[in-house]
Structure 1
Amino acid sequence: MANILDVSTEDNLQYQFFPLSNGSVTFQVKAANDAHIALTQGPQESDPMYEIFIGGWSNAKSVIRKNRTKPDVVEIETPGILSGSEFRGFWVRWDSGIISAGREGEAIPFISWTDPEPFPVAFVGVCTGWGATGTWKIEDGAPFETEDKLEYKFGPVVAGSLEIDFRGPSNCHVCLSNVPAENDTMYEFIIGGWENTKSAIRYCRQKPDKAEVPTRDILNADEFRKLLIEWKCGRFLVRDGSSGAVIMEWTDATPFPVTHFGVRTGCPVSTSSLRHAGRLPWSGQRWWSPSLGRRSRRPGAPGAVVGGQDCSGEPLYVARAPHEGAIIPGKLVGSHGCAYIPWGGAEHGKSEYQVLVGGPNNWVPTSGSSIPPGAFPAGESEDGEPLFIGRVSHEGSMTTGKVQQSHGVCYISFAGQELGFPEYEVLTA
């Protein structure tokens, strides 16, 4: 199974980081120049850090840099190595202090360097700049091959869904965990078990199973079957990847954070593939993590979407935060150092939040339950209903909040209260 990430980067030299499961990453990138790759211990730009700049200096040369200091440890001429009109494939590897990068299909690197004082790498970051934007297809490591011995192989997750192409006669097992290892904190999905007659959801390796449904012949030894596993706010769904039909589901009232997936089989499988789904609907948009989100306190934080302004004139950024099993859109007030979300008739301050970065700023007037095309479902109620990003003019402010279609209003948090308005604007692509 190969773990594929589709990523868009802006012309801002701001890395987007993803966890890694082994000592290599392969990718395709479409950029006119300056495709930058960072290798780090954590999901942020900090030392220690390796950087590989491919196609820098107007697509003329490539370098390796350590700890953001000059001179570069190695430099090589690579004229025309990137293209702004077509994808070019590359790989990056690190092993025993040897950092190397090569072209897709070539075993010999075009640039490499041995670090006498290496550090362990757990994350990869990508970015573009110096006049270039980029579109990336990133593959974390080699395809998974699973043997007939019921041992999970693990990889990282960065979104709330997995799309699986599986070929085998029975027993496609997938787990979701908070560590890259088998432990007593796992969700397990047994698809086509019991000689390909039924499927089940298991919690923390305990029986009875939380869900069990008959699924005779759901798998096939001769052809790939597409499956989709989704999780949001403790609700877990397994779908038919072709039709979208729900195969089984279960809700955990007290969910734990999922950071890794594992795959295994109880039968020989020749090959299979897996990729992350759940990309946000417009290119370049992403939600920053809570720690990075706090950077938007600074005026002009790169790419953070300004949704309105406070009564004082201070900008309000589009944000969201978890609350009572829901993910709720709201507002970030930079000077307060926290986000505010509306729920249950009250305004709730959140020190942990995410900020919308890289999206458009198209606001469409509407009313009631009329949601315009292109509206972005940025959250989910505790009952699983999509929540959209809205904003309302109120008492000298333009305040962002949540739109709940079934209620026919936009809710904002204001002066300690949750206020609902039937006339509002919705953020759209």
Structure 2
Amino acid sequence: MANILDVSTPDNLQYQFFPVSSGSVQFKIRAANDAHIALTMGPQESDPMIEIFIGGWGNTKSVIRRNRTKPDKVEIETPGILNAGEFRGFWVRWDGGIVSAGREGESIPFISWSDPEPFPIGFVGVCTGWGASGTWKIEDGAEFNTPDKLEYKFGPVAAGSLEFEYRGKHNCHICLTPVPAETDPMYEIILGGWENTQSVIRHCRQKPDKVTVPTPGLVNPNQFRKFIVQWHCGKLSVRDGSTGAVLMEWIDPSPFPITHFGVRTGYGTTGQWRISHFYRDGARPLPPTAPPAAALYSSPPGYPGAPHVGGGAPMYGGAGVWVDMTSGQVPPGAVVGGQDCSGEPLYVARAQHQGALIPGKLVSSHGCAYVAWGGQEHGKPEYQVLVGGPNNWVPTSGSNIPPRAFPGGQSEDGEPLFVGRVRHEGSVTTGKVQQSHGVCYISFGGQELGFPDYEVLVS
């Protein structure tokens, strides 16, 4: 059975995001006009981004738009496609850059477009506006089948883990890749292979296998068995989803960023699957907490999130605000600054350390943010996350800070620190730019590393 997510969207054109674990989403919407769907890499509006507007322009047209820019990629007439008095069912699919939308019960899409520069889609956002509010029923986690055919079905990953349930006689195959296709590099996990007697981890489709373990009776054709696959900086683990016991583990000395997974069956068996994204402690991301009585941080004057003239809560949007979070929480609208070498999104965050307010990275699956200081990486269970802010990154080097560089904190000596990022060992990692030092510092592998060539966040 599919899980149904009930969502209400006001007339404000602000997307509400949720993760997806396959190349499609099904939903029912009750609205007078303007049902908007966004396809993104992270849980916020940022480029690259594809939008599908159903029933726009007074419920007369539908379009596909990329990166919030005109002209629209596709525009068709769809008079009366939505209804304020009843739910109408639709689906949206994406595969290899082809994005399409169709009506419930119809296999042929009513609108479609091929993106020449496809990107991994990990989140879907929904909103309404232009005079309409909406009620949505969004299906997540629907079962699907794989035939007795050794061809992978691919979907995007949004974090460094994947949780799934499998029902089949044997040969449950999972692959992890940097693109939605069989390619090198590539990890393969075979559970219950060789007539349900052993399981292996394979790299780049080559033998000998990296790990081989006996697993008699691991999978079952009559009941679903749950498994968890986790990866971080080259460490690949396969766990029993019921007990948490490690079934297999291997460390890749040359890891690559993972953006997609694939599943398949073969060798005389078909399989039924239930796949969902895995979150720490089995929970979905938490909503923002209420503001504490005493703020954890006191932002310097002029910094985003500083108190307004006249008081009141800070408004989201514009330059962005810093939101207090703890223990791996990710607020809606958090700015994604990069990705870990595992493929997990890294969010722009900051935390206090030794009298400094230091920009760094939030790794949600670790339950903390990390900042660099004094040659070391420091984990912080209490931190702030940038919400609704810019996501424009400008290449630079040394002490050349571009105009409108985004301030993220200050050193213990009062020097402004800017938000920067660098590419390092398969990751795109956010950190601090200290102009007087002429480098961007990141925390990585327990160390503070400095890079003279970097990107800086600008508003």
C-alpha RMSD of matched pairs (Å): 5.9
Q: Is the 8 A contact 2:2 2:141 kept in 1?
A: yes
Displacement after TM superposition at 1:305 (Å): 4.7
Correspondence list, 1:344-355, <5 A: none
Paired position in structure 2 for 1:313: none
Q: Does 1:306 align with 2:322?
A: yes
Matched, 1:101 2:102: yes
Q: Summarize the Cα distance change of 1:233–1:397 in structure 2 as closer, same or farther, 3 Å threshold.
A: same
- The residue identity in structure 1 corresponding to 2:79 is I
- Count of aligned positions: 340
Work out whether 1:377 is the aligned partner of 2:367.
yes
User: 1:91 aligns to what?
Assistant: 91
2:181 maps to what in 1?
181
CA distance in structure 2 between the aligned counterparts of 1:330 and 1:99, rounded to whole angstroms: 29
Map 1:1-400 onto structure 2 (within 5 A).
11-14=12-15, 25-28=24-27, 34-37=34-37, 51-54=52-55, 61=59, 63-67=61-65, 68=70, 73-77=76-80, 78-80=82-84, 89-92=89-92, 101-103=102-104, 106-107=105-106, 112=110, 119-120=114-115, 122=118, 126-130=125-129, 132=133, 137=138, 143-147=144-148, 149-279=149-279, 280-283=284-287, 301=317, 304-307=320-323, 377-378=367-368, 388-390=381-383
| CA distance in 1: counterparts of 2:51 and 2:215, whole angstroms | 48
- C-alpha deviation, 1:128, in angstroms: 0.7
- Secondary structure (helix, strand or coil) at the match of 2:176 reads strand
The one-letter amino acid paired with 1:28 is F
Structure 1 residues 389 and 205, CA gap change in structure 2 (3 angstroms)? farther
Q: Distance in 1 between matches of 2:115 and 2:336?
A: 33
Counterpart in the other structure of 1:367: none
- The answer to whether the Cα contact below 8 Å between 2:358 and 2:417 also exists between their aligned partners in 1 is no
CA distance in 2, matches of 1:142, 1:49: 26
Residue-by-residue CA offset, 1:279-302 (whole Å, 9 max, x unaligned): 5421489xxxxxxxxxx9999536
Letter of the 2:174 partner, please give it.
Answer: V
Instruction: Provide structure 1 residue ranges, at least 5 long, that are not aligned to the other structure.
Output: 286-295, 309-316, 333-339, 357-374, 402-411, 420-429
User: For structure 1, which segment, 120-129 or 158-167, has the greater mean C-alpha deviation from structure 2 after superposition?
Assistant: 120-129
Aligned to 1:371: none
Report the CA distance between 1:218 and its aligned residue.
0.6
What's the TM-score once normalised by structure 2's chain length? Answer: 0.54
Deviation at 1:145, TM superposition (A): 1.9
Task: Give distance in 2, aligned partners of 1:248 and 1:164.
Answer: 16
Q: Work out the CA distance in 2 between the residues paired with 1:100 and 1:324.
A: 33
> Residue in 1 aligned with 2:422?
none
CA distance in 1, matches of 2:277, 2:218: 21
Answer whether contact 1:327 1:379 (CA < 8 A) is retained: no
Contact 2:166 2:225 in 1 (8 A): yes
Kept in 1, the 8 Å contact 2:351–2:382? The answer is no
Tell me how far 1:257 sits from its aligned partner.
0.8
SS at match of 1:152: strand
- Following superposition, the deviation at residue 205 of structure 1 comes to 2.5
Question: Counterpart of 1:223 in 2: which secondary structure?
Answer: coil
1:70-113 Cα distance to aligned partner (Å, 9 max, x none): 99642423322667xxxx74224699x9965313xx3388x946
Rounded to whole Å, the distance in 2 between the matches of 1:232 and 1:7 is 33
Q: Contact (CA 8 Å) 2:22, 2:156: kept in 1 or not?
A: yes
Cα distance between partner residues in 2 of 1:35 and 1:341? 38
Gaps of 5+ in 2: 290-302, 306-314, 325-333, 372-377, 385-408, 420-430, 444-459
Conserved? CA contact 2:188–2:203, under 8 Å: yes
Aligned equivalents of 2:28, 2:318: Cα separation in 1:
22
